[in-house]
Amino acid sequence: MKNENIHFERTLAIYETLCTKLNGNFEPSWRIFYKNQRTLNSQVKNFLTQIEITQRDLLNEIFQIETVKFKLRNTSNEIERIFHEEKELARKGDNYLNMNFKDLKDLFFRINPRVQIFVSNWEWVCHENRKKSFEFIKNVATKKSEYYFLLERTGTFDDKLNSNVFEIALSEFEYILLNQFTTKRKIGGVYDDFKKLFNYENEIEEGNLDELIIFLIRKIIFKTYIIPN
């Protein structure tokens, strides 16, 4: 069986750091002993009983994220099918992006079923590409907050990551907007609901807000995070 460490690098980095803090040392043979997700699941669950609540939440969060991502991977045939789907969605997306927004508001969209959105208490996904796993060790000393991201199953297989599932950091606004499309929604209805979340004092501020919302909606259509229903 192929060693699956690559899919759980952040979990391993946090585990090793917390183990060192707890015991004052770390047994390097553990990484060799770990060969698959099932083995890691057993060891993480056992270790969670030995550490304090905040550390427990930290380790469990990244392990759950990486487990979900691991299980979302597709077969080569599925990846090829997704690749062709992406090309067709991109073609359709161009048509919608060229529409007047007044006409676009009457159309129904929903979140792409290949996309899942998440909120985490620590920052695991960065805008920079491929942050090293050890760079996330800083989370051990970081308080809880809110971070937003998505996992997307794509038609591209990354040999280095051994996966077709990619992580994308989101802004809070992007997350809130995408969350509106978890069920089929009319663009105009989402636009109105999103606008109600903000306060503005004059026409200039309202105009700037309108431009921001339209930009964000067009962006998630362009990225095919939402698709026509």
User: What's the rounded Cα separation, in Å, for the pair 60 and 146?
Assistant: 16
pLDDT at 210: 97
Domain boundaries, the chain: 1-72, 74-229
pLDDT at position 19 over 90: no
* CATH 3.90.930.50 applies to domain 74-229: yes
| Residues 113-141 pLDDT 10s | 999 999 999 999 865 555 566 678 889 99
Residues 69 and 163 sit within 8 Å (Cβ to Cβ):
yes
pTM value?
0.87
Residues 181 and 190 sit within 8 Å (Cβ to Cβ): yes
Which of these ranges, 44-53, 81-90, 199-208, 216-225, has the smallest mean pLDDT? 44-53
CA distances from 109 to 141, 149, 179, 222 (A): 41, 20, 12, 13
**Mean pLDDT taken over the chain:** 89
DSSP-derived 3-state class of residue 144: coil
Alpha-carbon span 176 to 89, nearest angstrom: 23
Evaluate whether 55 touches 140 at the Cβ level (below 8 Å): yes
- Confidence category of residue 48, pLDDT binned at 50, 70, 90: confident
